[in-house]
Structure 1
Amino acid sequence: MSNLEHYMLLIYYWNGVQMDMLYLIKKIYIL
């Protein structure tokens, strides 16, 4: 189960990074 938790955490972290990138791109386009 530890391996599954690590995989879920990795996906969660990657999704968070993608959201931050989208936020930065939107901010740049607005400016």
Structure 2
Amino acid sequence: MASRANEGTENENGEEEACDLEIRMRIEIKRR
């Protein structure tokens, strides 16, 4: 990953999306 420092923007976006998915999954589980 360190070798792809130039593509940091794509990495950050991917991580943000993954975090959102995890948060949504947890919220759905808590609602049930």
Q: What range is the shorter-chain TM-score in?
A: 0.7 to 0.9
CA distance in 1, matches of 2:6, 2:24: 27
Equivalent pairs, count? 28
Q: Give the aligned CA root-mean-square deviation in angstroms.
A: 1.4
Quote the Cα distance in structure 2 between the aligned partners of 1:3 and 1:20: 26
Moved over 3 A (4+): none
Aligned to 1:15: 19
Unaligned 5+ residue runs, structure 1? Answer: none
Percent identity for Structure 1 against Structure 2 = 11
- TM-score in terms of structure 1 length: 0.79
Structure 2 gap ranges (5+) = none
